[in-house]
Every structure is written in C-alpha cells, then in structure tokens.
Amino acid sequence: MSVSTFFATMRRQWSVVTIVLVLGLIAFVVLWPQFRKFTATSTLLASTAPAGASALLDPQKDPTTSAVGLNDLQALAVSEAVLGRVAAELGLSKEKTAKLPKEVTAKPIFASDVLPIAVTDSNPDLAVSIANALTAELAAYSKKLATGRYDELIANLQGQIVGSRQDLARIDKRIQAVSSKDFYVTPETGTSAIDTRLIALQQQEEQLQAVVGGDQAAAAVTAKEPQISHSLARHEILAQDPAVVAQRESLGKDIAQLNLGLASYTLSYPGLKSYLSQVQKESAAVNRAEDESARDPGDSSSYVAAEIAANRANSTLAADSAQLDAVRAEIDQLQDHLTGSSDEGSLMAQLRRARAAGEDVYTDLSQRLARASADRAQAGSIGSVVVIDHATGAVPALLGRAPVLGAAIAIATIWLAITLAFLLDGADDRLRTPESIEKLYGKPVFMPVG
C-alpha cells in the first residue's frame, strides 16, 4: 500500500477517524483520574522445607505437608481470607474490600523464594498501608496454616481431656457418695475391704483361739502352783521364823542328845525315857509351833508369787477370751454387713471400672496431646514466611503518569482509527479507484475527469 493510498483512505474515512480521535481524547479525560494510581511494594521471603527434608520426619505425620509454599502465597495474597483480615485491620469499606483483589499483585522473582507484593491505589498512603498489612497478614496466616491442623487437633484433644476430667470427677463424686454411706465400701477397694477385714478377723480369731488355748493351759498350770508351792511355802515360812528355827535347833540338839543316849544306853537307863518323853513333847511343841507359824501361806513370797502367777494367767485367759469374743462378734457383724451391702458393692465395682476406663482414656488423650504439641512445634519450625522489606513509599503506576497514559491512549486511538478506517473502507465496495472500475468492466480506464 502506497502512502497516497493510505492517505486517500484516511481522507475518505475522515469522519470515522475524527470520531475515534475525539473518543480517544474523551477517554483520556475520563480515564486519567482512574489511572492515576500509586504502587507500593512490600517483599516476603518464603523459606519452605524441600521435599527431601521430610525423609527424616514421621512419614505418617509429615509436618512439611502443612507448610505454605511460594505458589500458595501468590494465591493467598489475593484470597478473601487474607484480604478480609487486612480490610478489617485497616477499616476499609466493603466496596474497597471488593476491589482489593484487583489491586494486589503477587509475583515471585524468578528462581527465588522472594515474593514482592505490590498494591495499587489512588491514595499512596493507603497503598503503603495495605501492602504492609498484607505482607504481615500473609506471614501470620501462613504460620497459622502450617500449624492450623495441629491447633485444631490440640484444641479437640484439650476439649476431650476436659470432658474426661469432668467424667472422672463425676465418677469420684458418686464413689464418694457411696463410700460415705458405708465405712467399709471404700473408693480404693470397694466391698472387698469387708472381705479383707473378715479374713483378717478370722485369722485373728484363730490366733486368739490359739492364744486362749495357751492361756487356758497356762492358767491350769499356774493354778496348781500355789498348791505345789504350799509345802515349800511352809518350809520357807518356818525357815524364816526365828522362834521355830530356834525350837527346831533345840529340838535337834535334844534329839541328837537322845540319839546319843539311845546309842549308848538302853531305855532303862535312867532318865532316858523321860528324856525321850521330853524330846517327844518338845517335838510336839515344835510341830505346833510350826503349824502355828505356817498357818498363813501368804507369808511365803514363793506362794504369793505362785498366786500372782495363777491370777495373771487367769486374767490373761480372761482378756484373751474377751478379745476372742469381741473378734467373733465383729466377724458376725461384718458377715451381716457384707450380706446387706451387696448393692453398694456392685455399684462401687461398676464405678471403679468406669473410673479405670476413664483414667485410661485420660491417659491416652494426654499422650496424644503431647504428641500433637510436639508435631505442631515441628511444623511451625519447618516453613517460615518473613517480611524482608516493608513498603515505605508508593510510586506512580506506569499508566498513572499523564504522558504515558496519553501516549498509550493516543497510540491505541490512532491504531483503532486506522483499523476502523481500513475496515470500513474495505467493507465499502464503491468504485473509488480506476483499478476497481477496470476490475468491474475489464476495460482500460482513462484518467478521471470532472
């Protein structure tokens, strides 16, 4: 196409060209306030764990699966979840919040983990505020995402633990109520305390029976001791009575004299008989004196000791017998109690089983909570998103500069005008050129006249 053809076309379609150019001018006037935008950029560094790092972790609970990647951050930057928080933090209107996704651009720098986040707004200060709030929120939200599932698990486990505690407290309360009604029904042993007590009492009874048997034997033995020690007591009394001792010594001497006389003489020896008679009298007197002296055996310490031992044995027997009776009475009472407290016993057993099960659940929940807390800490340490560059100012957007916008609109308008002109001209089949006439008639065409 020659220049003359181009200008001829433009001349023919001058009205279209003019209209488009005027529209372009109007577009510039209308669009200029809207394109007067400022861009503030804040930068994030998303250091996520490589896939190989998970090899050392628990394959069933790989915390790297919770880590937020760079691509995730791109999507998160324009997500309603994050932008909604930013809007709430900055107090943005609903209309402004709805426009935010279009005003935010998050595109990572090639082959790096650096993610610049650009916010475009007509207000440069607001653009800076949104950019900084958005990056801060992204960092916080990514951490929340990384540990979120553990937080939910931990919260759930904590709730279950609280519930388990309450169940145990209720069971303890019921056990306490049952136990308070019956001394022998204890939380620890239930009614088995009665059995234990019974067994102990029966053992005690057997022991006491043995003791009482021994006591009886001892009492029987010791009961004979006073009688046995009675003659001994007589001798002891007589030996300790000086008068009797003197009489017996005198009698002894007399007897010895008599025996000497008898050994030397016969009874016919004078005075021997009388001497014999005297000795006999004297012996009778000694016997009387002895009887008189030994009339009270209590004067003998041995006898008294025997009496005391006998009494002690009897008292011991009586005490042990009484204790045996008491034990038997208690055994009878416990047997009656055991018979009457079967319902409480079964209830207590049921409560004890429930409590044991509750304790198992509580223990399991506690262990799971500990594991979840550890996993959460691990997950939180694997991936991190940090703000490495805060937005400090906003620069005018490319199309926010009047010359650039004007040039862009001018280029677009001129291109549109030329395109439209040629399209309309091409669609117009009127005979505008000698060539078109020659094509129509197939005859040579002279120079136009007129």
Partner 1 sequence: MNRTQSTFDFLRVSVESKLKGPSIVTVTSALADDDASMVASGLAEAFAEAGHSTVLVTTRSTGTLAWRRWMPAIVPVDGRANLVRASADQLTVDVPGGRTALAGVVAKLRETYAVIVVDAEPMPISTVAYELAREADGVLVAIRLGRKPAPEDRTTMKLLEDCNAKVLGMVPTTPRKNVTAPAAVPASGAVSQAEPFVPHKQRKAEVGS
The residue ranges that bind partner 1 (CB under 8 A) are: 429-434, 437-438, 440-450
Measured distance CA(169)–CA(163) in Å, rounded: 10
Measured distance CA(41)–CA(81) in Å, rounded: 20
Beta carbon of residue 434, minimum distance to partner 1 (angstroms, whole number): 6
| Closer Cβ to partner 1, 242 or 450, answer by number | 450
Report the C-alpha dihedral over residues 255, 260, 264, 266, rounded to 10 degrees: 0
Beta carbon of residue 444, minimum distance to partner 1 (angstroms, whole number): 4
Write the CB contacts of 108 (distance below 8 Å, at least 6 apart in sequence). Answer: 70, 74, 114, 115, 116
Measured distance CA(115)–CA(45) in Å, rounded: 6
What's the one-letter identity of residue 130? I
Beta carbon of residue 450, minimum distance to partner 1 (angstroms, whole number): 4
Beta carbon of residue 425, minimum distance to partner 1 (angstroms, whole number): 12
CA nearest neighbour of 432 among 41, 105, 136, 11: 11
Residue 42 DSSP one-character state: E
Beta carbon of residue 13, minimum distance to partner 1 (angstroms, whole number): 13
| Closer Cβ to partner 1, 91 or 442, answer by number | 442
| Closer Cβ to partner 1, 111 or 449, answer by number | 449
| Closer Cβ to partner 1, 101 or 434, answer by number | 434
Beta-carbon neighbour count of residue 206 at 10 Å?
12
Interior angle at CA 133, CA 127 and CA 139, nearest 5: 135
CA nearest neighbour of 383 among 109, 2, 81, 46: 46
CA nearest neighbour of 240 among 297, 295, 300: 300
| Closer Cβ to partner 1, 426 or 448, answer by number | 448
Within 241-300, residue ranges assigned H as helices are 242-264, 272-293
Residue 190 DSSP one-character state: B
| Closer Cβ to partner 1, 387 or 445, answer by number | 445
Beta carbon of residue 6, minimum distance to partner 1 (angstroms, whole number): 18
| Closer Cβ to partner 1, 94 or 443, answer by number | 443
